[in-house]
C-alpha cells in the first residue's frame, strides 16, 4: 500500500514538473516581451540637464488635456449616447436629484459585459454538454 502511494506521489511530482517545463518557453517569451515594452514606455524624453525645460511633447500634452477638460461638459451627453450604442444599448440610469439620464460608470458597464459574457458562455457549455451526453 505504501509503495503504491509513493508511486502516485512520484507520478504527481513528475506531472507537475512536466507542466512547468512545458510552459517555460511561453513564460520566457512573455518576460522577453515585457522587457521590450519597458523600453517603449512613456518616460523622460530629455536627458537630465534638459528635463527641467518643458519639452514640446509636454506642452502639447498640457494643451490637449486642457482642451479635453474644457470640452468635457459639452460632450458628456453625446459621448454617453455613443457608449450606450457601443455597449449593446445598455439601460441608462436615472439620477434622483436631476431626473435626467446619467451615463453608467465604467465599472458598471464592465460588470454588465462580464455578466453577459458569463451567461452566454455557461449556456454554450450547457448546450455542448447536452449534445455530448446524447452521443455517449
pLDDT by residue, tens only, the chain of 136 residues = 889 999 999 999 999 999 888 888 888 898 899 888 887 777 666 677 777 788 788 889 999 999 988 887 766 655 555 555 555 444 444 444 444 455 678 889 999 999 999 999 989 888 887 766 665 4
Q: Could you tell me if 56 and 10 lie in one domain? A: yes
Q: Could you tell me if 63 and 108 lie in one domain? A: no
Q: Could you tell me if 108 and 65 lie in one domain? A: no
Q: Could you tell me if 67 and 127 lie in one domain? A: no
pLDDT of residue 112: 92
Residue 37: domain span: 1-71
Closest CA to 104 of 117, 131, 127, 86: 86
- Asked whether residue 17 is assigned to any structural domain, the reply reads yes
Q: Could you tell me if 6 and 54 lie in one domain? A: yes
Q: Dihedral (C-alpha) 106, 110, 111, 113: value to the nearest 10 degrees?
A: 140
Q: Could you tell me if 2 and 52 lie in one domain? A: yes
Cell triple for 25: 518557453
- Asked whether residue 34 is assigned to any structural domain, the reply reads yes
Q: Could you tell me if 63 and 11 lie in one domain? A: yes
pLDDT of residue 111: 92
pLDDT of residue 5: 93
Q: Could you tell me if 65 and 110 lie in one domain? A: no
- Asked whether residue 76 is assigned to any structural domain, the reply reads no
**pTM of structure:** 0.28
- Asked whether residue 108 is assigned to any structural domain, the reply reads yes
| Biggest CA pair distance of the chain | 77
- Asked whether residue 7 is assigned to any structural domain, the reply reads yes
Cell triple for 128: 455542448
Q: Could you tell me if 63 and 117 lie in one domain? A: no
- As a whole number of angstroms, the distance between CA 23 and CA 35 comes to 18
Question: What's the structural domain count of the chain?
Answer: 2
Amino acid at each position: 500500500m505504501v509503495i503504491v502511494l509513493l508511486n502516485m506521489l512520484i507520478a504527481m511530482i513528475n506531472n507537475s514538473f512536466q507542466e512547468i517545463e512545458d510552459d517555460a518557453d511561453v513564460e520566457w517569451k512573455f518576460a522577453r516581451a515585457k522587457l521590450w515594452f519597458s523600453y517603449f514606455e512613456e518616460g523622460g524624453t530629455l536627458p537630465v540637464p534638459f528635463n527641467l525645460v518643458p519639452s514640446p511633447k509636454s506642452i502639447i500634452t498640457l494643451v490637449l488635456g486642457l482642451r479635453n477638460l474644457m470640452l468635457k461638459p459639452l460632450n458628456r451627453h453625446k459621448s454617453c449616447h455613443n457608449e450606450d450604442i457601443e455597449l449593446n444599448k445598455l439601460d441608462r440610469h436615472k439620477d434622483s436629484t436631476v431626473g435626467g439620464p446619467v451615463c453608467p460608470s465604467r465599472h458598471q458597464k464592465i460588470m454588465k459585459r462580464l455578466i453577459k459574457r458569463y451567461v452566454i458562455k455557461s449556456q454554450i457549455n450547457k448546450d455542448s454538454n447536452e449534445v455530448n451526453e446524447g452521443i455517449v
